[in-house]
A = this chain, B = another copy of it.
Amino acid sequence: MKIAILPGDGIGPEIVTEAVKVLNALGETFEMESAPVGGAGYEASGHPLPEATLKLAKDADAVLFGAVGDWKYDTLERPLRPEQAILGLRKNLGLFGNLRPAILYPELAGASTLKPEVVSGLDILIVRELTGDIYFGQPRGVRECPDGPFKGQREGFDTMRYAEGEIRRIAHVAFQAAQKRGKRLTSVDKANVLETFQFWKDIVTDVHKEYPDVALDHMYVDNAAMQLVRAPKKFDVIVTGNMFGDILSDAAAMLTGSIGMLPSASLDANNKGLYEPSHGSAPDIAGKGIANPLATILSAAMMLRYSLNKTEQADRIEAAVKQVLAQGLRTADIYEAGTTKVGTEEMGNAVVKAL
């Protein structure tokens, strides 16, 4: 089994190193090959997603991704900026199904800015469509405004769009995920304003007929943003489009107060996937050895579960992470008085030991 390792920028290399260490400690044989991506890709060959990196990712059974981005690339033109690598990988690999769990580990309840009774035991899954919507819709650009009171001025524009098949396949992913959990699915839309999301709502309602055991409800995106703050534990699985999913999954992650703990998976139609922590590249702490590697280690566990069919090994890693938390080990981002502060490498070593 071949895994493409794309460490990226900022803290990416440090945290990926620890995840690779954990994978190597499982007693399995994985073929792993690394390549530069993001700012590192740009430095190496003038493009955030070098051709060789894309080929490596395409040929692999799964991709383990660190993080991309650094302020020093802010002045590059958009197609050369680091985040284009992640958009390019999603599109080129057809990774339409993004799974983002927001879980609050009981030991870390204090890290949340929300009251413990509101978030303790939080366990929701956001299923975000990842290759459609206004992220990729054409036409887009800056043009002369064709009509209305601002006619003749410059205007920026983009196209939101979802085809029936795109909505169906992400709905199936979400219903099936709900079947394996609490059997409740909330589809988030803005059907009261957008044609795209009235259509979305209609198709999701239709797909629901195939999953009578799952309770489906529909919620407007503005209300969903409120309910995530008001009573997040009422959700089980949330499914939504690329743009709304971007916003809501980050809000949900932050509810836990420990975004350094949250993994993610981005899957294609055959469960090949790209796995990455939900947090970013944090260039401000890069190289200091203090970043939390657990989100990346848990991403590796998701990879074993979804793409490599090694459920038992995934379980082992997740249990090991719980164990180091129970031992009181904490990186700086989740440190509280009374626990033991450790660095990136120590945390990785502790997980290996717990295995």
Contacts and interface: CB of A to CB of B under 8 A. Distances in A.
Interface in A79-129: 81, 83, 87, 113-115, 118
A222 interface: yes
Contacts of A199: 142, 154-156
B255 A158 contact: no
Interface-central residue, A147, A164, A223, by most chain B CB under 10 Å: A164
Contact of A115 (B114, B158, B161): B114
A190 B226 CA distance: 21
B159 A155 contact: no
A141 B195 contact: yes
Contacts of A145: 161, 163-164
A26 interface: no
Contacts of A135: 193
B230 A158 contact: no
B163 A160 contact: no
A314 to B, nearest CB: 27
A113 B246 CA distance: 23
Given A230-B113, A254-B226, A137 B157 contact: yes
A35 interface: no
A165 B194 contact: no
B230 A156 contact: no
Given A113-B230, A150-B166, A229-B113, A156 B195 contact: yes
Interface string A198-238: 11100000000000000000000111011011110000000
A250 interface: yes
A158 to B, nearest CB: 4
A155 B163 contact: yes
Interface in A242-262: 243-244, 246-251, 253-255, 257, 259
A196 interface: yes
Nearest to A249: B222
Contact of A155 (B157, B162, B229): B162
Contacts of A253: 226
A114 B230 CA distance: 9
Nearest to A110: B115
Interface of A: 78, 81, 83, 87, 113-115, 118, 134-135, 137-138, 140-142, 145, 147-150, 153-166, 190, 192-200, 221-223, 225-226, 228-231, 243-244, 246-251, 253-255, 257, 259
7 pairs of A and B residues whose beta carbons are closest in the complex: A156-B199, A150-B163, A156-B196, A157-B161, A155-B163, A225-B251, A226-B254
9 contacts: A134-B194, A140-B194, A140-B196, A156-B197, A157-B159, A158-B194, A190-B243, A222-B250, A225-B225
